């Protein structure tokens, strides 16, 4: 590596007389007064001649000059190579100095009516659900309904073999005829005994005994008639009919099976679907406000949504409220009635019941995503006219799935950040990006 040589040393070396020049002048015999005047010395005598060879000092100076030239070329090349970066450096510095705007989406606070709803999970429950069971024992001869159809009250849906009960009816009718004949004979004997008793021709005891015989036969006739009526009723029960109007389910027994009254399976299940109810629970903390509004309005509107809470199914009203709160869960059951004319609701279906308690008028409403929670509590980022944001503490009220009511801290018309607030700070500059198109 070349070492830097001070300028003063280079100059002194240049001013020193070169032996080579001196030897050449001495060989040729030529005087050099100018050189002698420059050095301040006068040569009195000519030195003996020296061999014409370059001394070590002369070779060192040439290497020094060569190193300086190479160093200068290297510095010039480095300066040329770095020139584009030097010209772009001020622009980079300026870009870092100026803060970039954070892209966000905005929404404006609006004033309007806000429905206060309580959303609870409910179950569609028919007003009546009946398991049809045969009232007599016998073989099921025929099933006369189509599974899943709507059946009307009194419509025949199955038939039990009626022949044993028809025979029994005829037997009871024969017994009745015999007892009626015996009763007629006993009454005729009583009439004769009554005449003879007035003539004192028979003992009084015989007349009185005959009167009781007549009453015994009258009792037998009544028993026979009751047995006949019961047999006729059994014949009616052989024809199984729908006790209510509703949708009948899948058959639970096939023709040819023996059915009996103590069976727990039954023939089919019928559920009333028009109208139909929804039973849902309500937290005990909301019971006072619901009861208060129920007394004021007389009825409360309930909207049924599907299980995902996206599709509106039907509208109804609160039908009844349970008499007590479940102490294990702290909930109370409510039943809402729905006409269900188009059969939007199905028995045992899970739905989301939206109970409309009241409606707030002229409320300040913002999207739910605009309200953030942090160390200062609930706050929003308000977008100022210069596109800088400021943190604003707010007080929230009622809310639903999409929107929140601001009771204080924000006015209608002010713009708030609804997306992109995770990197914002108070005073940050923002750029507004368009909302995605609604599908």
pLDDT at residue 416 is higher than 90: yes
pLDDT value, residue 91: 43
Q: Which residues contact 299 (CB under 8 A, 6 or more apart)?
A: 317, 318
Q: Does position 108 have pLDDT exceeding 50, yes or no?
A: yes
Mean pLDDT of 383-389: 90
Mean pLDDT (whole number) for 154-179? 94
pLDDT of residue 22: 43
The strand ranges marked E within 237-311 are: 239-241, 246-248, 258-259, 268-271, 276-283, 301-305
DSSP 8-64: HHHHHHHHSPPHHHHHHHHHHT---HHHHHHHT----SPPPP--S---HHHHHHHHH
* pLDDT at 279 (0 to 100): 95
Distance of CA 58 to the CA centre of its chain: 94
- pLDDT: which is higher, 155 or 402: 155
How far apart CA 314 and CA 351 sit, in angstroms, is 10
**Quick one: average pLDDT of 153-160?**
94
Say what the pLDDT of residue 438 is. 54
Among the residue ranges 75-89, 133-147, 316-330, the one predicted with the least confidence is 75-89
What SS3 class is residue 401?
A: coil
Domain ranges (residues) in the chain:
7-89, 103-113+361-432
| Residue 240 β-bridge partners | 158
Q: Residue 218 above 70 pLDDT?
A: yes
> Going by DSSP bridges, is the β-strand pair 331-338/312-321 parallel, antiparallel, or unpaired?
antiparallel
Q: How confident is the model at residue 375 (pLDDT cuts 50, 70, 90)?
A: confident
Question: With contact defined as beta carbons under 8 Å apart, do 140 and 160 qualify?
Answer: yes
**Helix boundaries (H) for 266-423:** 287-297
Cβ neighbour number for residue 256 with a 10 Å cutoff: 9
Q: What pTM value is reported for the model?
A: 0.61
The pLDDT score that the predictor gives to residue 180 is: 92
Q: What is the pLDDT of residue 59?
A: 63
Query: Cα–Cα distance between 189 and 390 in angstroms, integer?
Result: 117
- Band (pLDDT 50/70/90 cuts) for residue 11 is very low
Asked if 240 and 259 count as a contact pair (C-beta separation under 8 A), the reply is no
**Banded pLDDT at 424 (limits 50, 70, 90):** confident
Q: pLDDT tens, 58-71?
A: 566 777 777 777 77
Beta strands in 65-108 (DSSP E): 102-108
Mean pLDDT along residues 226-241: 94
Residue 186 near residue 269, CB atoms below 8 Å? no
Higher-confidence residue: 82 or 212?
A: 212
The pLDDT, as a whole number, for residue 146 is: 92
Q: Which CATH class is domain 103-113+361-432?
A: mainly beta
Q: 215 pLDDT exceeds 90? A: yes
The pLDDT mean for the chain works out to: 82
Least confident of 61-70, 287-296, 326-335: 61-70
Torsion sign (Cα): 351, 334, 289, 330: negative
- What sign does the dihedral 307-308-312-317 (CA atoms) show? positive
Q: Is the pLDDT of residue 7 over 70?
A: no
Q: What is the mean pLDDT of the segment spanning 197-215?
A: 88
């Amino acid at each position: 590596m070349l070492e830097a040589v001070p300028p003063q040393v280079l100059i002194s070396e240049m001013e020193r007389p070169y032996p080579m020049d001196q030897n050449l002048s001495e060989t040729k015999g030529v005087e050099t007064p100018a050189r002698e005047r420059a050095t301040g010395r006068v040569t009195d005598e000519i030195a003996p001649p020296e061999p014409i060879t370059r001394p070590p000092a002369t070779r060192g100076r040439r290497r020094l000059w060569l190193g300086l030239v190479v160093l200068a070329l290297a510095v010039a090349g480095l300066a040329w190579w770095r020139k584009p970066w030097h010209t772009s450096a001020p622009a980079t510095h300026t870009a870092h100095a100026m803060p970039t705007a954070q892209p966000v989406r905005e929404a404006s606070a609006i004033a309007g009516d806000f429905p206060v709803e309580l959303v609870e999970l409910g179950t569609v429950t028919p007003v009546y659900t009946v398991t049809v069971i045969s009232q007599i024992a016998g073989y099921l001869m025929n099933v006369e309904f189509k599974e899943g159809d709507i059946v009307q009250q009194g419509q025949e849906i199955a038939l039990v073999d009626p022949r044993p009960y028809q025979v029994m009816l005829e037997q009871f009718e024969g017994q009745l005829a015999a007892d009626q004949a015996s009763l007629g004979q006993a009454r005729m004997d009583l009439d004769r005994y009554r005449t003879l008793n007035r003539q004192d021709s028979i003992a009084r005891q015989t007349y009185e005994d005959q009167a009781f015989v007549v009453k015994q036969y009258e009792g037998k006739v009544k028993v026979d008639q009751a047995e006949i009526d019961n047999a006729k009723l059994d014949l009616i029960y052989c024809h199984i009919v729908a006790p209510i109007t509703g949708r009948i389910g899948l058959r639970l027994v096939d023709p040819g099976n023996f059915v009996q009254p103590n069976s727990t399976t039954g023939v089919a299940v019928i559920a009333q679907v028009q109208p139909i109810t929804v039973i849902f629970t309500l937290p005990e903390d909301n019971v006072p406000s619901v009861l208060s509004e129920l007394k004021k309005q007389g009825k409360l509107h309930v909207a049924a949504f599907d299980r995902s809470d996206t599709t509106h199914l039907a509208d109804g009203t609160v039908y009844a409220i349970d008499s007590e709160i479940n102490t294990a869960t702290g909930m109370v059951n409510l039943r809402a009635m729905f006409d269900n004319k188009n059969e939007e609701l199905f028995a045992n279906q899970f739905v989301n019941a939206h109970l409309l308690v009241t409606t707030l008028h002229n409320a300040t409403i913002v999207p739910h995503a605009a309200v953030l929670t942090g160390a200062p509590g609930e706050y929003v980022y308000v977008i100022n006219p210069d596109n800088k944001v400021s943190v604003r503490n707010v007080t929230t009220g009622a809310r639903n799935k999409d929107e929140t009511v601001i009771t204080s801290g924000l006015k209608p018309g002010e713009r708030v950040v609804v997306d992109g607030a995770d990197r914002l700070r108070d005073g940050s500059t923002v750029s507004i990006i368009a909302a995605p198109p609604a599908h």
